[in-house]
Amino acid sequence: MPRANRSGRGRPALRDQYDVLGLLGTGGMGTVHRVRHRAWNIDLAMKSPRPELLSDASKRESFVREAETWVSLDLHPHVVTCHYVQTFDDTPRIFVELVDGGSLHDRIQDGTLYRGGADEALARLLDTAIQFCWGLDAAHRRGLVHQDVKPGNVMLTADGIVKVTDFGLAKALSEVGPQTSDPLVPVPAPFGLVSVAGLTPAFCSPEQAARLPLDPRTDVWSWAASVLLMFTGRRTWAYGPLAGQALETCLRAAPADRGRPAGAGAPGRGRAPVGQPPAIPDGLGDVLGRCLRDDPAERPESMAEVAQLLLTVYQRELGRPCPHEPYAPVRGMADDLNNRALSFLELGRDDEAAAAWRQALDADPRHAATLYNFGVYRWRRGEVTDEMLLQQLATAAPGDADDWLPDFLRARVHLERRDRRNARVALARVSDQAEETRAPAVRAAVAELEERVEEAGDFRRVRTVDRQAFVEAMAVSGDGARTVVALRADGPDADSTWLVVEETRSGREVARIPALGHGGRVTAVAADRAATLAVTGSEDATARLWDLRGEALRQTVEPGGQVQDLWLSPDGERLLTATDRTLAAFDLTERRRLWVSPGSDVSFVAFSADGSLVGSGGYEQIALWDGRTGRCLTELDHGSDAFRGFGLSGDGRWLLAARASGRLSVWDVGERDWSHAFAGSGRELRNVLLDPTGRHALTNSHRDRVRLWDVPAGRCLRTFDALRLSDSFAVWTPDGRHVLFHGSRSTAVWECRARDVTSPYWPSRVRPGAPAVARRARSLTDRADAAWQLGDVAGTLAVVRRLRALPGHANLPETDEAWRKLGLRCEPVTIIGARLLRVLDHFQSWIQDLSLHGSGLWGHAVSGDGEVVRWDLERGEVTAQHRLTGSYLARIEPSGEQLTSATYQGDYTRVALSARAGERRFQETAGHAGPGAPLDLALSRDGRFGAAVSLDVIPGMAREGGAERRLVWLRAEMQPWVRAVLDELDAERPRGGAVLVWHHATGARVRRYLVDRGPRAVALSADGRLAAAAGDEALWLWDNATGRSLWSLRMARARFRQVELSADGRWLLAADHADLVLLDTVARRVVRRSAGHGAEVRALAMAEDGRIAVSADQDGEVRVWDPRDGQCLWSLRGPTEVTALTLSEDRRRLLVGYGDGGLHLWAFDWDLAPPDPARGAEVVRPDLEQFVALHTAAGWDPRPGAAYPRHPEPSSSGNLTDEQVRALFTRHGRAAYTEIDVRNLLTRLSRAGFGWIAPDAVHRLLREVTETAATGLAGNDYVC
């Protein structure tokens, strides 16, 4: 199983990427073929120059360089899109948009350009000439001169759209083509349609013929010559520079005969003879005359000017406006960048492709094609899971011109992830839309995809059985037809365990062993080929062989320990057993043991299908054994990344190991080497199961989340919910067609139809109706500006909301700026969109804390192994880093200026995080004796106080003993294991603990609170005055100034593991299992309990004002809440367990850290509500009270003879007296703040949605709050 090429690119043979469908044409310079692009599922035109023209490498490089100028052009309706230049067999080939309607030269030659009456033909010719202008103008605006403008390089679609082609080829061919002494030699083809030395003599300009420097006005001449040919029907001049004389001759004829070939007659304004062009109108003749002047300076300056003149001619001659409008592309439109990325991808320039896609999403975060293409690209590289891809596609803009596209692309993803049911659901929605719009392209695309649905692979549930007993173990027969299930009823009776044999597909019971008689739980089951014999293994250190037909016990085997797993040969004569210490083989016919392995730690075990290979091992080593002889074949060492489990393929060729880092590693058994590794689904992988061939694997990590992996590609193919799974998890049938899952009280059969489907990428098309959209955008922009100037915030909001709904306008810089300004004057109501801005891969260990600053433009992260990094999140770059030594727990202050880390001895260190420009390290201060070995840390926003929780020393362990050190090592290296250890200890005996608060400046202990239930989490208010803790069945709240318990909430069967306090201490948010509990600390009541997570909440964050909360669970789900009403505003899905998260001050960015060390930066798009003036400034009074409190001096008295110095001296024991503690929290005199502080306050209020309050009103209320605080008790009584 060699590792798959993730990029899927390089220089493959032509037949591997394209189906050549036929020859479209040949010319003097090369050929054009029609090809089907397999990866994109569309037809393209492939242009190939004659190989003899590119005889050496320098010529080929020159040709490619010039031809790629065409690729650089933006998407435009009047330009043939050039996707890329790719070299096959030493010949550069240009892949361009296929236009089926033929060329303008073809339409002139066959006369179809002149169908209908004279008016109809004239309208068609003028419309064609105008669109021709717009196509050339699009290139000129990008600095590209065509240099070979002629009817043969103008393509027409069936519905009359004109597209100019072959940009840049003239210059490319001029450098490699045949040279002649006279560039104006006649050419044999009609109308001079074969280029010579990079130009066509019949249409070249005078300066081109004279080999003078060229600018866009050379194309103006060639355009005019081409239009003249449209009206004459044939060329009447020998070569290009004579076209002006030909026009003069033509215009001297009678008006009705202008442009008509000699002898054609004069049909007047009635019906023209078939194939005859109309007369040249006077206005058009004037325009052509200006364009065909010998001096370029006398010609029109641009093709846009020419087009505007022709629009006037069209209106005057036909009495109506031209049916087409100039294309006004949205600046930075994602369509162009998306196509550019696909071109880079075809050329193997993956980094440039990814960069282009990121730029496209910056321009339009909800651009469906880019979300799909970039998501699929990253999915196939193993960078994101299928869940994350679908989540991103869910944000695609439904208001785009192609309303059907998001559902269509989701259907494609579902097919590739083998989910035909959801693919059909998405296609049904597309079909409804296609019928409504009657779009032929939509119907054709849907029909093709529906055909692929029937051919695609699938992974689906066949049946689920809810058992009335506990499922202990399960096995499948060698032929896969039958399943053997061990069941246990409630109660301690050993005879309550029985065996059931069922048909795998139907579930029909065919046999039953009513009482197994084991003296403990059944831990493993194995069956022979036809399920006539079965073996059960138990905790009682026995394995029993059963005759399933006779429902009788044949024999009992003693493997020498508690049985973990079993393998029974197809003929039922040989048995392999795995206990917690040894492996053994038994001959059941002769009733003797064949071999036994040396004693070792056997935490994991796996067998090949034929029993020839056995794998066993623990966290540090895996051994592979010859199942026939018991000889150890090889030993795999964990290196620096411990094993968490492994699986063997049925053929014994591959081993897949789960690592502590969350990665999955593939071992090639035959080569005895690691093949490759890839990111898994997190640190809590419990089971790994390979299919018989090793191509696919199943893993599960939490509860019922199961992932199907494409092992060679290293990607998560499918994430789904199977059952509430037990540790035994699942088993493949030998043919790999079915998977049997079993949970605690249920079993399920899934069918695996392994047929790969690779969904094509989706190139962007020109958006229909773009000119109308541009006009609408300009109108709305003018209206929004006018409303804003009048101070009408509500009116501006309504207009900008409509502007954002226009295709391609949602996230233009000017639209974004308008929405940002409105966000400062309006209240954020709910989240209407989210997108993944960045995925940051730097850390090798889990993320334990995060911070965001400057509206989420930069932040800090600290990993479980002590690495601290400052990120520039706009560029995704590390700007400073530091390595903590000896610490295992660290927290970043809310201000982002300091970090506190703790060692297991209880010492802590503070690190200043304000690294100056150019510095790569932070300033570390000396350590101080601290709070004891903590499980959690919290820091006050003002940086003055810290808090920690610790548990009682585990009975039987010395404080410095190896067992506790082992616990700490687990905490540092594999955080989830610690929870398992502590939970197991809690089950044996509930333990108490302590909450400690200390003063940073002195290192002195401020308070120590003893609690009777083990605390696990701690939080502080912004000024450190309040401390909250969460533990088993209890929440606590203390006043640190007095040491008084303010509240203790007891909840039976609760399991509080996370806690947060609002800045003012008014609101307390705690996580109980998968629920959130909000408490009002003043009213001392539970306000609300919110459910929604499917797994235990592992990370929690709350906005300073308590109005927004974010929670994340062990399955990687992140939810944003409004705690006031319990509404879930948005949910996200990550790749693995979330271990840390933080919300930016303006609530628009969220940084999420995962157990595998990854970081995801999300951006939220908030809907806004106009301000309610009736609410007044009183709504921000709590914020102002907090501001005043934090700017009032505390901990010292400036008056002469004051009792306390600034930093009270601790006693010899390191503790402060009650009087000294009260001094720390006592605030004296008036608040001292500057105008800069007030401006920062106003900024924070604006970001929080209070920018609609007039600054004068805030100033007045702030003065009132300041005076009240100064004349009151100066903070001696804490007021929430």
> Is residue 838 packed enough to be buried (19+ CB in 10 Å), middle (13-18) or exposed (0-12)?
middle
Interior angle at CA 392, CA 387 and CA 396, nearest 5: 140
With tokens 């990590």, the residue in question is 701
CB 1258 within 8 A of CB 1220: no
d(CA 155, CA 286): 26
- Give the span between the Cα atoms of 286 and 835, in whole angstroms: 54
Q: Which residues contact 1142 (CB under 8 A, 6 or more apart)?
A: 850, 851, 852, 859, 1101, 1150, 1151
End-to-end Cα, the chain, rounded Å:
64
Task: Provide the 10 A C-beta neighbour count for residue 482.
Answer: 23
How many Å separate Cα 1148 from the centre of its chain? 17
For 80, 368, 557, the CA distances from 83, given in Å and listed in that order, are 10, 19, 69
Token pair belonging to 426: 């998405």
* 3-state DSSP helix/strand/coil % of the chain, to nearest 5: 30, 30, 40
Q: Distance (Å, rounded) from C-alpha 988 to C-alpha 969?
A: 22
Task: Decide the pairing of beta strands 162-164 and 91-97.
Answer: unpaired
Distances (CA, A) of 1133 to 384, 682, 793, 1115, 1117: 11, 13, 35, 8, 5
Is residue 186 classed exposed, middle or buried when 0-12, 13-18 and 19+ CB atoms within 10 A define those classes?
A: exposed
Which contiguous run of DSSP H or E holds residue 848? strand 847-853
Structure tokens that stand for 1269 in this block: 């605080």
d(CA 765, CA 332): 15
Distance between CA 55 and CA 61 in Å, rounded?
11
What span, in angstroms and rounded, lies between the C-alpha atoms of 647 and 729?
12
Dihedral angle of Cα 201, 205, 208, 213, to the nearest 10 degrees: -170
* CA–CA gap between residue 815 and residue 1171 (Å, rounded): 20
To which H or E segment does residue 1230 belong?
Answer: none
What token pair was written down for 548? Answer: 């399933």
Q: What distance in Å separates the CA atoms of residue 488 and residue 513, rounded to the nearest whole number?
A: 12
Do the beta carbons of residue 246 and residue 219 sit within 8 Å?
no
Q: How far is CA 396 from the centre of its chain?
A: 13
Three-state secondary structure call for residue 1138: strand
Region at 480 (left for phi over 0; alpha for psi -120 to 50; beta for the rest)? left
Judge whether 47 is annotated as a binding position.
Answer: yes
- In the structure encoding, which two tokens stand for residue 1233, read together? 């703040």
CA-based nearest residue to 195, from 164, 229, 237, 149 = 149
Q: Assess contact for 27 and 194: CB atoms under 8 A.
A: yes
Asked if 1022 contacts 941 with a C-beta cutoff of 8 angstroms, the reply is yes
| DSSP states along 603-650 | SEEEE-TTSSEEEEE-SSEEEEEETTT--EEEEEE-TTS-EEEEEE-T
The two three-digit tokens of residue 1122, written as one number: 């409004």
Which residues contribute to the annotated binding site?
A: 47
Binding positions for ATP:
47
